[in-house]
Amino acid sequence: MSELDLKVKGLTLGTHETPWDLQVLLYKGAASVKRNVVMQSINEGEFGDLIEDRIFLVVKLHEIVNSYLTRGLSQNTVKGHLQKIQFFYSWLDTNDQLSTEESIIPSFKAWTEHLLNRIKVNKDITQITAYKQASIIANLIAKALDLPGTRPGHSLMLTTRLKRPKKPTKVLSTKADKQNLVDTFEFGHTLTTICNHLDIKTVRGSLPIEVLLNENKLLTVAGNLIDPYLDVSTIKNSGAKKRAIIARQALAENTSLLETYKRSSILNLRIESELMIFIAQTGMNLSQAVALSKNNYRWQSDGEDYEVFRVYKGRRKGEAIFRCYKAYRDHLQAYLDWLDKTELSQSDERLFPMMSRGMIRAKTSRASIGTLRGFFKKHNLIFINPTQLRNTRINWLLRQTNDLNLTAEQMGHTTEVLLKDYLRPHHQRASSEIIEFHNLIDPAQLTPGPGLCVDSHQPKQVVDFPENAPKPDCISPEGCLFCEKHRDVMSSEYCWKLASHLQLKRLETNLYKPSENNHIHPGNLVMDRITSKLKAISDGSEIRNIWVEDAQNSIRSGKYHPAWDGYIRLLEVMV
């Protein structure tokens, strides 16, 4: 069986990456060994003979992985699947579980129990992480065994006790979005400060590098120094002391930054900071941004923005690759000049050539911003990942333009994707939309009496209209209070106006001399109506109760609403 070829072909590899070979899954214990040394160990017989019962399933897994690559599935996704297969087989070997065609499903269920134990007992893995890992293996097993059903992998997962966790309901407070924007602006300020400070002179200068963020915060860029503020004079060993001094010295003029990797972390810090600023400015996702090549660019103004074109030799027109704000052009040009001065442009064609110690990563490798993330964590700064940056940009653009189609076009998405994956609730926007909605279906207008009317010149009596009460006619202020189209206004001014109206009706009824039939004066019905309205408002909340009390106190002190003040003064003279 030595001629069995189970290498995964089609994966783009870096200079220090080992090709994937599923042959390691045929030997017990081999999946637990590092891939760069395991094949030599297998050839030397350290793992004995291969287990023939495993061949069928491993060959099937090999075919499935190759089919993924043929279909154009992301190489990072395929590598992730291969890692999970290796972890799964490593666990099978460690726990003496069988991995034959007949036993793989029971073994898989036993593995999910192990994951549950890690979730609930060890607590070293989250439920969603465990579920995603198990789902990938379940789908691979289902395809390898050709299990029936439209979603055989999902059906296999349903036979285990490992379930997808429910998404927690996030309640956004009125301060949530404000806080998000504050954090984003602070993050952007920090990135810009780092980029502006790490010029070519500083990067080549003595270590450590100190970056003054604000009057209360000093950031330390240590490079490869373990203890940046070590007092060299306290080192007794002459050799160690000399090495410490050299490590902190500025680079000599004839020394290239690329000849040594001692300052690669400093270069990466600026490159990753520039990358995050670029994503915030252009809205491009991380994988697209890191794949960009450094080219000659042609800038074309488009209102408040620039469209940036890649220039091709011998062609006047180029390919538009991104759009950015005008203010970003000078910053990007300064970064491009910095790449030339560091000589990174000569050795790497990428726009964001992040360095690795002695290795060249594959172009399809998953982008990492670990240097920047670690730097922010070390200094207790808020870090905002690229997805959050894009999300904030999209929601901000949508609120500024109030145009879903325009925002989707700017961000390179369909409106459906924008609504499903990016749009977040926003209290101020929701409030304005609610007001617009009510204005559309309930267009309130000023009324002859206190409050508002939603259908002027179409009066309608309230249900249980009292006998002898003023009839609604869009003329009489009292008639408004008995109209279905009348609306109260929740404000202190409205309560004052009602209380003043009540005082006016009191004075009117005091002038009334009852007839022999003792008819109820309509003013009494109006007073009852106003009194009930004031009570309902007062019972609504503590603040509304204060409105009503203040209005009543104003009336007692002789301070009336301007709408009724003149009438009340005349009646007071008559009474």
Q: What is the pLDDT of residue 316?
A: 46
Reported as a single tens digit per residue, the pLDDT across 160-201 is 999 998 876 555 555 555 556 788 888 889 999 999 999 999
Handedness of CA 247, 248, 253, 259 (dihedral sign): positive
How many alpha carbons lie under 13 Å from residue 521 in its C-beta half-sphere? 14
Three-state secondary structure along 422-473? HCCCCHHHHHHHHHHHHHHHCCCEECCCCCEECCCCCCCECCCCCCCCCCCC
Average pLDDT over residues 295-321: 58
User: Residue 446: beta bridge partners?
Assistant: 452
1: confidence class by pLDDT, cuts 50, 70, 90: very low
315: confidence class by pLDDT, cuts 50, 70, 90: very low
Q: What is the pLDDT of residue 309?
A: 60
pLDDT over 80 (residue 86): yes
Residue 278: closest CA among 292, 261, 264: 292
> Among all chains, which residue has been given the structure tokens 């491993």?
58
Q: Average pLDDT over the chain, rounded to whole?
A: 82
Q: What is the pLDDT of residue 314?
A: 45
pLDDT over 70 (residue 412): no
Domain boundary assignment for the chain? 22-158, 184-291+327-339+352-383, 388-426, 442-574
Could you say which DSSP state residue 30 is in?
Answer: G
* Least confident segment among 91-105, 365-379, 543-557: 365-379
Q: What is the pLDDT of residue 243?
A: 85
pLDDT over 80 (residue 410): no
pLDDT over 80 (residue 79): yes
> Among all chains, which residue has been given the structure tokens 């806080």?
179
* Least confident segment among 47-51, 427-431, 560-564: 427-431
Task: Please give the Cα distance from 102 to 57 (Å, whole number).
Answer: 10
Both tokens assigned to 450: 């206190």
Q: Which residues of 235-273 are buried (b: 16+ CB within 10 A; e: fewer)?
A: eeeeeeeeebeebeeebeeeeebbeeebbbbbbbbbbbb
pLDDT over 70 (residue 546): yes
Task: Please give the Cα distance from 347 to 481 (Å, whole number).
Answer: 82
* Least confident segment among 112-126, 432-446, 493-507: 432-446
Reported as a single tens digit per residue, the pLDDT across 378-392 is 999 999 888 888 777
Asked if 373 and 383 count as a contact pair (C-beta separation under 8 A), the reply is yes
* Least confident segment among 26-35, 286-295, 512-521, 533-542: 512-521
Asked if 118 and 134 count as a contact pair (C-beta separation under 8 A), the reply is no
User: Residue 359: beta bridge partners?
Assistant: 356
* Least confident segment among 235-244, 311-320, 521-530: 311-320
pLDDT over 50 (residue 313): no
pLDDT over 60 (residue 470): yes
Task: Please give the Cα distance from 36 to 14 (Å, whole number).
Answer: 13
